[in-house]
Amino acid sequence: MPPQPHDHDGAPRFRAPPANPYAHSYEGPGFVVVEVLGEIDMATAGALEEHLDALTSDGVPRIVVDLREVEFFDCSGLRVLCRAERRARERGGTLRLVCDQPRVHRLLHACGLLGRFPPLAELPPAPPPGSERAPGAR
């Protein structure tokens, strides 16, 4: 494993995977935020999958996927989210969605995924002081 960058306290820092036209990420308060942009369909879901794969490849990923800027989202995108959520869960982490779009809520409902991905209307607040470092941090 290559050396990881560290903060002055010796704890690993978050390293974002390369951004692409459909996904970029940044460290939030206690989790990593992945902002998804544009249209996520069969032609573009691979770019989102690559980004989420990088974030769920090691550590204990705590990821919040922000879909508020998505213009279109189909079952190809849902497949990517299901895979990323499973990978995060297998490593003891979580994957949550932020979405305020009724059409995405309808898609989650129609596919029976509202229980797996109960969408948040906005980014969650920071965890209480003294809790873990930003999940997903490496």
Indicate whether this model's pTM tops 0.85. Answer: no
Q: Specify the DSSP class assigned to residue 46.
A: H
pLDDT of residue 131: 55
Beta-strand relationship, 23-27 and 32-40: antiparallel
Strand order in the sheet with 94-98: 23-27, 32-40, 62-73, 94-98
Q: 15: which residues sit within 8 A by CB, 6+ positions away?
A: 4, 5, 138
For residues 52 and 80, the answer to whether their CB atoms sit within 8 Å is yes
Confidence of residue 58 (pLDDT cuts 50, 70, 90): confident
